Structure 1
Amino acid sequence: MKGILFAILGGICITVQGVANSQIGAGIGTWQAATLTQFTGFVAAFILMLLFRDNSWKRFKDVKPLYLMGGTFAAIVIFSNVTAIHLIGITISISALLIAQLAIAFLTDRFGWFEVEKKKMRPGHFVGIGLMMLGVLILSM
């Protein structure tokens, strides 16, 4: 249950962040919005790390270089989201984002990418993704 609540919180924040970034991007530019968002996210995470006294960051040398590139993906997420929201609106943008996210998560689980344990996919998984895609098509009409 706790995991579901965190996932819901993350989904809410992705949407609110997309809207906020879109407004920032309209005012100062898309890459500037990504830079500002990444910076404020860094500051917030750093403060929280200090408040919670989490010293596990000292083991960053143990992290594989590919995974240290996570912030790069976040910058691309922000740029893509801002651009998509300006072009097609928030509802379709977030719907497409969620489908793309779900599809990559599905493939990652299925094939064990990024050292994730492989999981067997059931017919319901395929039906669920198909229905989400159909939903986006209907929303975009």
Structure 2
Amino acid sequence: MKGIIFAILAGGFITLQGVANTSISNGIGTWQAATITQFTGFIVALLVMLSIGDRSWMGFKQVKPIYLVGGAFAAFVIFTNVKSIQLSSVTIAIAAVLIAQLTTAFIIEGKGWFEVAKQRMRMPQFLGLALMIIGVLILTF
């Protein structure tokens, strides 16, 4: 249940971030908005980490180097999210993002990539994805 609560919070924060970044981008540019967002995110994460006194980050040498660049994807997430909101709408953009996330997750779990436990995707999962796509098409027209 906690996982679902965190997922709901994440969805809300992603939407709020997208709207805020679009407003910033309209004033100063998309890559500038991404820079400000990444920087403020770094500051907040650093302050939270320091305030809770969690020293487990010091074990980063045990993490495979390829995974240490995962945060770099955030710059492209911000840029593409802002552009999608600017060119469509918040609702359509977020719906399309969710479909892309779900499709990517299906592929990662189906193949067992990135040390994720391999899962067999069945008809209900594919049906759920198809319904989401139909929902976006309905929202679009």
TM range (shorter): over 0.9
Residue 16 of structure 2: aligned partner = 16
Residue 136 of structure 2: aligned partner = 136
Query: Cα deviations across residues 61-104 of structure 1 (Å, max 9, x unaligned)?
Result: 11112111112111000000011111011111000000000000
5+ long unaligned stretches in structure 2: none
TM-score, length-scaled by structure 2: 0.98
How high is the sequence identity, in percent, across the aligned residues? 60
5+ long unaligned stretches in structure 1: none
Q: Distance in 2 between matches of 1:24 and 1:70?
A: 24
Q: Distance in 1 between matches of 2:108 and 2:5?
A: 22
Structure 1 ranges of 4+ moved more than 4 A: none
Residue 64 of structure 1: aligned partner = 64
TM-score, length-scaled by structure 1: 0.98
Tell me how far 1:60 sits from its aligned partner.
1.2
1:110 is aligned with what amino acid? G
Residue 4 of structure 1: aligned partner = 4
Cα-Cα RMSD: 0.7
SS at match of 2:118: coil
Alignment coverage as a number of residue pairs: 141
2:138 is aligned with what amino acid? I
Q: Distance in 1 between matches of 2:111 and 2:128?
A: 19
1:67 is aligned with what amino acid? Y
Q: Distance in 2 between matches of 1:126 and 1:119?
A: 13
SS at match of 2:65: coil
SS at match of 1:66: helix
Show the 5 A alignment for 1:7-46: 7-46=7-46
